[in-house]
Amino acid sequence: MPRTMLTDQHWQKLKTILRNLSIHHNSNLRNFIEAILYRIRTGCPWRDIPSCFGHSNSIFKRFNRWSSSGKLLRLFKLLASCPDMEWIFIDGSHVRAHQHSAGIANQSISKSVGGNSSKIHLIVDANGNPVDFMITDGTTHDVKVAPDLISTLDLKETKVVCADKGYDSEPLREQIRKTGTKANIPKKINSQSNNDHMDWYLYKIRHLVENMFCRLKQFRGIATRYDKLKRNYQSAVALACIFLWLPL
């Protein structure tokens, strides 16, 4: 029997939330969730999922249906419904795309010097927990994604949005200011303005978003993208975030 990841306590919590999505407990539901977790933890092909979880093709088809309907993304939103939004931190991280993920156009995979890649753009709360994310191809600049990613959030309780120099953009700062929130983003070295506006203590805490990327990439199926479809990889990242929220 391979190592599983859900404790009984975590499963009871997850099962309750699944009911809100009209997903009711049946004899193989826990095995199905464990199978997907096993797959993203090990990065194995679907056909190599141990038979104790069920038939690999049935598991993949069910995961694909859940991904198509956005169930895992909605489950992530339900679990992350009460974040500490006083400060939020935003960043992006590249992910190598395995050759098995190639072959379908327009799935957020691009060619670069290092090979095929995608990118995870992530927002974490003041405690470093994932709040929202987006998947793009690896050559998309962080600052191009930030406006859309931030616009998905309710910033009524947010005092500061913190990001690195890659997000040095006046339109982005203006968008943040319009919500009544401070943009704690340093100017680039070639800027004519200074950094008197910066709260350097909060900027140092920006390591929280880097730490979350490290935790997400402990899942081998996240650190390297094996999924051909963007929505399937997005659902895998959502499930990893769900697993990290469960103990809280």
Q: What is the CATH number of the domain that holds 167?
A: 3.30.420
* Confidence band, pLDDT 50/70/90 cuts, at residue 192: confident
- In the chain, the number of structural domains is 1
Q: Is residue 210 part of a domain?
A: yes
* Confidence band, pLDDT 50/70/90 cuts, at residue 25: confident
Q: What would the pLDDT profile of 213-233 be if each residue is shown by its tens digit?
A: 999 999 999 999 999 999 999
- State which residues form the domain around 157: 87-227
Q: Is residue 183 part of a domain?
A: yes
Q: Is residue 199 part of a domain?
A: yes
Q: Is residue 175 part of a domain?
A: yes
Calculate what percentage of the chain has a pLDDT beyond 70: 100
What pLDDT score does 1 carry?
67
Q: Look at residues 2, 1, 10 and name the one whose alpha carbon lies nearest to residue 242.
A: 10
The CA distance from 37 to 221, in Å, is 9
Q: Is residue 169 part of a domain?
A: yes
Q: What would the pLDDT profile of 30-80 be if each residue is shown by its tens digit?
A: 999 999 999 999 999 999 999 999 999 999 999 999 999 999 999 999 999
Pairing of strands 87-97, 224-225: parallel
| Cβ contacts of 68 within 8 Å, gap of 6 or more | 231
| Cβ contacts of 94 within 8 Å, gap of 6 or more | 114, 117, 118, 119, 138
